[in-house]
């Protein structure tokens, strides 16, 4: 269940549970993402994406996005889109 790598976490904001991800693929609302870090491995359905503080429906290669998640994740974790 690895999927296609679409980015890496470059920051995590614990108070608001938001992962900041540099995207090297494409994502959209409703996609299922798998977060794989040194101590974590979990999936989340994307229900919000922000680029530059604005809600968007999708993101593309080169975007830096914020995605709300339900678990902690470490910087450098890989992010995959899974089916």
Q: What is the CATH number of the domain that holds 50?
A: 2.40.30.10
The length of the chain in residues reads: 83
List, for residues 64-73, the tens digit of each pLDDT value. Answer: 999 999 999 9
The CA distance from 40 to 32, in Å, is 16
Q: How far is CA 4 from CA 14, 16, 79, 80, in A?
A: 26, 27, 8, 5
For the full predicted model, state whether its pTM sits above 0.85: yes
Domain that holds residue 63: 4-82
Binned at pLDDT 50, 70 and 90, residue 83 comes out as: confident
List all residues 6 or more positions away from 24 whose beta carbon is below 8 Å from its beta carbon.
5, 6, 7, 8, 61, 62
List, for residues 43-53, the tens digit of each pLDDT value. Answer: 999 999 999 99
Please tell me the total count of domains within the chain.
1
């Amino acid at each position: 269940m690895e999927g296609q790598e679409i980015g890496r976490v470059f920051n995590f904001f614990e108070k608001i549970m938001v992962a900041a991800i540099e995207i090297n693929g494409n994502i959209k609302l409703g996609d299922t993402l798998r977060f794989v870090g040194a101590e974590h491995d979990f999936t989340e359905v994307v229900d919000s994406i922000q680029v530059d503080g604005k809600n968007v429906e999708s993101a593309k290669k080169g975007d830096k996005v914020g995605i709300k998640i339900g678990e902690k994740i470490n910087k450098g974790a890989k992010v995959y889109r899974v089916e």
